[in-house]
Structure 1
Amino acid sequence: MIKNVCYGLCAIILLVMGCDQKKTYTISGTWENGNGKVVYLKKETREKQFQIIDSAVVKDNQFKMTGDIPQVEKYLLALEKNEQEILLDGEPIEVVATQMTNKNGDKIDAYKMAIQGSHEQKVLEMARGLSMSKSMVGLGGMFAMVQVKDDSVKLDSTYKAVEMMKRAVDERIKNFVDSNSNSLAITYVIGDFIAREYPFEDVERYYNNLTPEVKASYPGQLLKEKMTSLRSINVGGIAPDIDLMAPDGKHVKLSSLRGKYVLLDFWASWCGPCLAEVPNVKAVYEQYKDKGFEIYGVSLDNKKDAWVNAIEKHDLPWIHVSSLKGWECPVAKIYNVTGIPKMYLLDKEGRIVAMDLRGEALKEKMASFFN
């Protein structure tokens, strides 16, 4: 009991101290052939909306910015189209931007940026590398399996090799996050990368492993807020309401289906894996549609004709809605949808009871509700 009280007092003290964490930053560097160009320091105010905090004109291929910020926080350093995240924590940041060349060795109008700073900056850099590794293994694996898709023996061995590489990358990422539990930068890694690529249980575990100082920091508080919103879109949470347009122009709310079991299905007309799952979903719908079950399909199409034609072509007789904004769909952002198909199974109260069930797993779960 006394130990818990002490931890609580420490957290309060850290929070109070965190309210006055004014930092002075210094960002300097060289930009090869960058004379006259402008370096910008930006802060994200809303999703993909940025405010310019500072700027510097390059003279003699060099630039420098200095100023104050209210607390340790992540910013964006922009050299024309080359943008990179930096964590300003009071330690100086050194930047080297070198002009890139084409295959003939000729200089092109593009730059490679190398950034050095504190340990926190190094954590961000290492996380970016691990993120790229995960993406490359995923894309490379898909490409490799497509090449051997007509040979079942090669397909099986390729699948096993790809899965082994994925597990190796996942283990590296796990060890990296676990070994940086005392890092402010790791909060952004957890919130921006781990939360996008891994189950919520992993996000929660990594957060719980953070030190009290990190949890009490401004980045730690931001991560805590993000976890609150993530919890609502995972098993046990009440699914956030959706109000989008159906093909006939009328709006249909997800909450209007309370009292029924609902399969919330994010899909698109161009999504092969989504369409491959259609026979299984249709079979479940036909079996339970008259027993209190409905499907609420949210399309990530951006063209109405493609969306409507896919519904008609594949005979999808359930509820369909879309913002017709593609990946910029505001609902997809709320639900943290980064890949499709993405499915949520909701109970009669709108609570998420399962996620991403496919084929027999979906049939078995539905049977548990009605049989």
Structure 2
Amino acid sequence: MKKVLFFMLAASPFLANAQTGNYDVKGKIGKLSAPAKVYLLHREKDKNVTDSAVLANGAFEFKGNTNLPTQALLLLDHTGIGINSLGRDADVMNLYLESGNILVAGTDSAKTAKISGSKLNDDNAKLAAATKPVLDKAVVLNNEYQKTPEADRPKLVEKYTVLQNEQKAVLKKFIQQNPASFVSLDALRSFAGPAPDYSEVMPLFNTLTPAIQNSENGTAYKAALDQLKATAVGSIAPDFTQNDPDGKPVSLSSFKGKYVLLDFWASWCQPCRQENPNVVKVYNQYKTKNFTVLGVSLDRPNGKDAWLKAIKDDGLTWNHVSDLQFWNNQVAALYGVRSIPGNFLIDPTGKIVARDLRGEELEQTLAKLLK
């Protein structure tokens, strides 16, 4: 549970800022007392920090000094069983630590408690209220997904896409209305998603105030966007060389003159394996029409056998490369790949003409280009 919570924090862009300040978090949740405990989890630079306090008639307090703004989690252990014994349904609240007094008040849980005395948390509450209707729909859709037979689940993809677009619209509006809030930088990260579109994200980043853009977190995110620009649609695909399963080096540039689908996947990635039949279909349809696929696997250091088995089992008869370094794969880092499946469609001149094509969209794009 503790690892899950710190993973949530590590995914946040608000790990630290240049400004330093003292915070004082005072809380009162119901009338809980020992052995009930409350935990405050946050990150300082690259370190996980856990603080704890015993409740006395519902009251607790945390004091500290932190680089701000810092996203944190407040976790309430009602029976004192310990943070590592709590499940995924633990009573958790999201908040931001910033200089000054932060007040937390609730009747029976951290999830429903309210925060006051903090501008940053006021902004966060405003964003949470704006996104709640979409998230409520997502819960309903997820329940529907769980009850749907696996063969029929792809039919729900369109519903997920509609919800994603709804959420992006809400986040975009919040960012545009709150350009001076650090929460907007967080909202921008959510808006961008795991496979950001540079042409969509960068204009929104530019709407943020200079103070936000030039903060430590802002400049770090700008650097990530600059890297993204190198692999944006319209850019020349960065060349690379990586070994195939037999240890022979394969370069992207060796395929120049063809349309190439640079496909990032892994044997352990179930969505990748579900998408593979679509890639096999278009490969077989267009392999004689100046088109090929180059697979880049993010399998683990001990995963070569699983990689080769997946290639055979899924009928992936095109070229494959990997350094078997999991998420540290050098080609994935070069292309800014943070989620899989992911792909880049490269034209005969070496220019990226599309990315993250799936199913029918992949087939229709190739049909148009290779007609």
Asked if TM exceeds 0.5, the reply is yes
Task: Note closer, same or farther for the CA distance 1:139–1:121 as it changes in structure 2 (3 Å cut).
Answer: same
In 2: Cα distance, 1:78 partner to 1:330 partner: 36
Task: Note closer, same or farther for the CA distance 1:301–1:218 as it changes in structure 2 (3 Å cut).
Answer: closer
Q: How does 1:271-282 map to 2 (within 5 A)?
A: 271-282=273-284
- What is the aligned counterpart of 1:287 among 284, 289, 294? 289
The offset of 1:259, in angstroms, is: 3.9
In 1: Cα distance, 2:322 partner to 2:128 partner: 33
Q: How does 1:1-371 map to 2 (within 5 A)?
A: 21-30=19-28, 32-33=32-33, 35=35, 37=37, 39-43=39-43, 45=45, 50-52=47-49, 55-58=51-54, 60=56, 62-70=59-67, 72-77=68-73, 79=75, 80=83, 85-95=94-104, 112=111, 114=113, 116-117=115-116, 118-125=118-125, 127=127, 130=131, 132=135, 136=139, 139=142, 149=152, 167-196=165-194, 199-239=197-237, 246-248=244-246, 250=247, 252=249, 254-255=251-252, 257=254, 259-261=256-258, 262-269=260-267, 270=270, 271-288=273-290, 294-300=292-298, 303-322=303-322, 332=332, 335-340=336-341, 342-347=342-347, 351-357=351-357, 358-366=362-370
In 1: Cα distance, 2:232 partner to 2:254 partner: 19
In 1: Cα distance, 2:299 partner to 2:141 partner: 23
Percent identity, please: 26
TM-score, normalising length: structure 1:
0.67
CA-to-partner distance for each residue in 1:108-163, whole Å, 9 max, x for gaps?
Answer: xxx7474624232243355567384575476467568768949xxxx6xx887766
In 1: Cα distance, 2:231 partner to 2:74 partner: 33
In 2: Cα distance, 1:185 partner to 1:51 partner: 21
The offset of 1:95, in angstroms, is: 4.0
Task: Note closer, same or farther for the CA distance 1:36–1:133 as it changes in structure 2 (3 Å cut).
Answer: closer
Given that 2:294 and 2:319 are in contact with CA atoms closer than 8 Å, whether structure 1 keeps it comes out as yes
Given that 2:243 and 2:321 are in contact with CA atoms closer than 8 Å, whether structure 1 keeps it comes out as yes
In 1: Cα distance, 2:135 partner to 2:251 partner: 36
Task: Note closer, same or farther for the CA distance 1:113–1:339 as it changes in structure 2 (3 Å cut).
Answer: farther
* Worse-matched range after superposition: 321-330 or 277-286: 321-330
Amino acid at match of 1:69: T
CA-to-partner distance for each residue in 1:176-198, whole Å, 9 max, x for gaps?
Answer: 33222221111122124434366
Size of the alignment, in residue pairs?
322
The offset of 1:279, in angstroms, is: 0.8
* Worse-matched range after superposition: 273-282 or 87-96: 87-96
Unaligned stretches of 5+ in structure 2? 1-16, 76-82, 85-89
In 2: Cα distance, 1:238 partner to 1:30 partner: 57
Given that 2:38 and 2:52 are in contact with CA atoms closer than 8 Å, whether structure 1 keeps it comes out as yes
Instruction: Give the match's secondary structure for 1:265.
Output: strand
* Worse-matched range after superposition: 191-200 or 327-336: 327-336
Task: Note closer, same or farther for the CA distance 1:36–1:114 as it changes in structure 2 (3 Å cut).
Answer: closer
Task: Note closer, same or farther for the CA distance 1:174–1:222 as it changes in structure 2 (3 Å cut).
Answer: same
Given that 2:138 and 2:163 are in contact with CA atoms closer than 8 Å, whether structure 1 keeps it comes out as no
The offset of 1:280, in angstroms, is: 0.7
Instruction: Give the match's secondary structure for 1:286.
Output: coil
In 1: Cα distance, 2:97 partner to 2:204 partner: 23
User: Over aligned residues, Cα RMSD in angstroms?
Assistant: 4.2
The offset of 1:55, in angstroms, is: 2.7
Task: Note closer, same or farther for the CA distance 1:272–1:137 as it changes in structure 2 (3 Å cut).
Answer: farther
Q: Which residue of 1 aligns with 2:6?
A: none
CA-to-partner distance for each residue in 1:51-78, whole Å, 9 max, x for gaps?
Answer: 32x73432535432323334x3233336
The offset of 1:219, in angstroms, is: 3.4
Given that 1:38 and 1:58 are in contact with CA atoms closer than 8 Å, whether structure 2 keeps it comes out as yes
The offset of 1:355, in angstroms, is: 1.3
TM-score, normalising length: structure 2:
0.67
